[in-house]
Structure 1
Amino acid sequence: MNLSIVIPLLNEEESLPELHAWIVRVMNSNNFSYEILFIDDGSTDNSWKVISDISKNDNNVKGIRFQKNYGKSQALNIGFKKALGDVIITMDADLQDSPDEIPELYELIVNKNYDLVSGWKKKRFDSVVSKNLPSKLFNWAACKTSGLKLHDFNCGLKAYKNEVVKNIDVYGEMHRYIPVLAKNEGYNKITEKVVKHQARKYGTSKFGISRFINGFLDLITIWFLSKFGKRPMHLFGALGVLMFFIGFCATLFIGIYKLYKLSTGEPAILVTSNPWFYIALTTMILGTQLFLAGFLGEIILKSNKKEKRYKVSETLMIKK
């Protein structure tokens, strides 16, 4: 099968028939063998009924319905698990992503051998305040922390090799940073393609202030996991050493200061009356806690036998 088209959606009953007809037209004109996976993320309108009706008349259409709204990342996660195509295309269901872009995205994966091709909505029709500015901030921060030179990390229109989607775990709100997840798994042939962005035709945007906040929190999480996910002691241990060093210096200062007072014949004040005593005590406690956090992290990684510590790309065995 050439293509799997994974489409997460929430309350998009009006756009689904038009989107399906548009995709079918593009698939047939390019002679693709394909499947369309609609992932209904707990819609409260008639989206699931529309998907069911479409699937009765088109064997290429499959549907998965969540019991409630779990989020776009979870919808993509199950779509990736079920996808059978050599190339997986993701797109939104609101008709703002154009299916006409699919053939060129497919060619970049198959002929240019890219692992992932991310769409870049260079010209947008969204609200400047509610989506454009937050997107620019996300993309700038993601570029700086990941090293990937992409203009639009969060574009829903992307193309992947099958093996890429099978080896990444999309959870929380991590769908914004799928290129970063792919890079962290060793898939470095990542590029972007300028794609058309269309004004929303039906329904309303699902963007809210909570997504803005969660996006930055997830960016911090993915940065931490990419840097120290396999070696937590490198972070917590280093911070622990720093805290101990500060505590040692504070203790040394207290001792020297006390000896100086004794040598001059002045009455020495109580150690607990010296503010450096509390600095030394606090930093020593923090250093101990940070070391313990690092040790616990290493123990958890060691005991998690399901965790894949490496992936083998190719193997050449000596034949006897």
Structure 2
Amino acid sequence: MTIMRDLQPLQTVPAPRQSPACPHAERLSLVVPMFDEAGNVQQLVTRVQAAMLESPWPWQLILVDDGSGDGTGDLIRDAVAGCPDRVRAVILRRNFGQTAAMQAGIDVAEGSIIVTMDGDQQNDPQDIVRMVRRLMDEDLDLLVGWRQARQDNLWFRKLPSWCANRLIGAVTGVRLHDYGCSLKVFRADVVRQVRLYGEMHRFIPTWLATVTAPARIREEPVSHLPRVHGKSKYGLARTFKVLLDLLSMYFFARYRAMPGHFFGRIGLVCGFAGALVLAWLAWRKLMFSEPIANRPLLMLGVLVAVIGVQFICTGIVTEMLARTYYESSGRRTYLVGQVLGNGFDAGEGGL
């Protein structure tokens, strides 16, 4: 993903560390990816500015143009020129997709709290301050919007969403009512522990559950408004992408640090099944002198046994790759929340 550097607002500086003892020291970054939303840019900026008048925290609005072809990028530049102290722009060179655009906005965000929302004005900015306040009051890492009275009246949008929410919850163990709502509030230091690819923006709660406790992830009822301008970018075609990304996400969430267990289990099942078939055929051959050379069951047993060996070998190779990755990159398989105590009595003088 490439970000144009010809706009002054795109120059980023490291965000200062905020003191958790002072909630008013927090700063908010609102990230809004947009693709062909020319009719919504100005109204969105106006509505966000009006809603954030209630914010006791400093805030910034980051508009990401995901390679739009309808003039959205020019309108975003105008918004930056009209309010350079509040609005920033990220202009992508082409359309990379909502997930990549969201990650681009997160990468340049300076706030200690990051809020994401859609650019179609169906998320209500009036919900933001309430959600941020709850995140801070309850010391959460992620607060997910739960759309009430959804304005998507078409069954072919509601039905896939309903099925996807329950499938994701069943597979991942992180049960929420509305994974598809883009209105989410994060702790910046937590969301930056993961990278978003493909269509993974809908799996953000599950990805964050790999670096924080699921108890620190909650949902909040929010408004859902009808679309006024532009066309929806969602359809049935996305269902297949969700299924593929769900499989990838399940693998990385459960077996990222031990991929050999994933492939090894499949290999052991296949190997045991193949060995069982071959043993039965050998018993029939030895005990009853039955011809087995031309039996399809023999080919099946050999094939399943070979597949089992291949899966086990793949598991060993992936374990070696995982160990190389963690050791060479310095990454850990865990994240420390707190370290308490000195370890040695001050009177002992250390070792």
Bigger drift between 307-316 and 161-170 goes to: 307-316
In structure 2, the residue matched to 1:221 is: 248
**Counterpart code for 1:229:** R
Give the distance between the partners of 1:94 and 1:247, measured in 2 at CA: 54
Query: Between the two proteins, what is the percent identity of the paired residues?
Result: 28
Write the distance in 2 (CA, Å) between the matches of 1:140 and 1:239.
26
The answer to whether 1:292 aligns with 2:292 is no
Q: Tell me which moved more, 172-181 or 224-233.
A: 224-233
SS of corresponding position for 1:273: coil
User: Could you say which residue in structure 2 is the equivalent of 1:241?
Assistant: 268
Q: Please state how far the C-alpha of 1:54 moved relative to its aligned partner.
A: 1.3
Whether 1:183 aligns to 2:204 is no
Which residue of structure 2 aligns with residue 265 of structure 1?
A: none
Q: Is the 1:74–1:170 contact (alpha carbons within 8 Å) kept by the matching residues of 2? A: yes
TM-score, L = length of structure 2: 0.85
Query: Is 1:106 aligned with 2:132?
Result: yes
Question: Could you tell me which of 311, 314, 319 is aligned with 2:338?
Answer: 314
Rounded Cα–Cα distance in structure 2 between residues aligned with 1:179 and 1:33: 26
Deviations 1:263-307 (A, max 9, x none): xxxxx53x4123332122112211111112111211211221225
2:198 is aligned to 172
Q: Secondary structure at the match of 2:179?
A: coil
For residue 244 of structure 1, what is the amino acid of its counterpart?
G
TM-score between both structures, scaled by the size of structure 1:
0.93
Structure 1 residue 214 displacement after superposition: 0.2
Residue of 40, 47, 50 corresponding to 1:15 = 40
**Structure 2 CA distance, aligned partners of 1:207 and 1:247?**
44
Partner SS for 1:23:
helix
Indicate the larger mover: 287-296 or 232-241: 232-241
Matched, 1:64 2:85: no
What is the rounded CA distance, in whole Å, between the counterparts of 2:147 and 2:314 in structure 1? 42
Shift of 1:176: 0.8
* Cα contact 2:263–2:315 (8 A) shared by 1: yes
Partner of 1:257: 284
Report how many residues are paired: 314
Please tell me whether the aligned partners of residues 54 and 129 of structure 2 are also in contact (alpha carbons under 8 angstroms). Answer: no
Q: Which amino acid aligns with 1:83?
A: A
Give the conservation status (yes or no) of the 8 Å contact 1:164–1:187. Answer: no
**Residue identity in the other structure for 1:168:** V
* CA–CA distance in structure 1, aligned partners of residues 211 and 109 of structure 2: 19
Cα distance 1:49–1:281, how it changes in 2: closer, same or farther (>3 A)?
A: same
Q: SS in structure 1 opposite 2:96?
A: coil
Return 5+ residue gaps in structure 2 as ranges.
1-25
Give a deviation string over 1:231-255, Cα, whole Å, max 9, x none.
1211221222222222222222222
Is there any run of 5+ residues in structure 1 with no aligned partner, and where?
Answer: 263-267
Q: How many Å separate the matches in 1 of 2:182 and 2:295?
A: 59
Which of these residues, 34, 46, 62, is aligned with residue 37 of structure 1?
62
For the residue of structure 1 that corresponds to 2:302, the secondary structure is helix
Q: CA deviation at 1:187?
A: 3.8
Q: Return the alpha-carbon distance in structure 2 between the equivalents of residues 261 and 44 of structure 1.
A: 75
**Would you say the 8 A contact 1:87–1:109 is kept in 2?**
no
Aligned equivalent of 1:25 = 50
Contact 1:7 1:39 in 2 (8 A): yes
1:80 Cα deviation after fit: 1.4
Secondary structure at 1:184's aligned position in 2? coil
Q: Deviations over 1:140-176 (max 9, x none)?
A: 1011112222100110111111212211211110001
For 2:281 and 2:174, the matched residues in 1 are separated by 49
Residue 310 of structure 1 deviates from its aligned partner by: 2.1
TM-superposed deviation, 1:178:
0.6
Query: 2:211 & 2:54 partners in 1: Cα distance?
Result: 35
Cα contact 2:259–2:322 (8 A) shared by 1: no
Q: How does 1:158-169 map to 2 (within 5 A)?
A: 158-169=184-195
AA partner of residue 309 (structure 1): T
In 2, Cα distance between the equivalents of 1:237 and 1:161? Answer: 36
Q: Secondary structure at the match of 2:90?
A: strand
Whole-angstrom CA distance in 2 between matches of 1:95 and 1:249: 60
Return closer, same or farther for 1:110/1:57 CA change in 2, 3 Å cut-off.
same
Aligned match of 2:304 in 259, 283, 308?
Answer: 283
Q: Aligned to 1:2, which of 15, 19, 27?
A: 27
**CA distance, structure 2, for counterparts of residue 115 and residue 291 of structure 1:** 38
Which one-letter code corresponds to 1:98 in the other structure? D
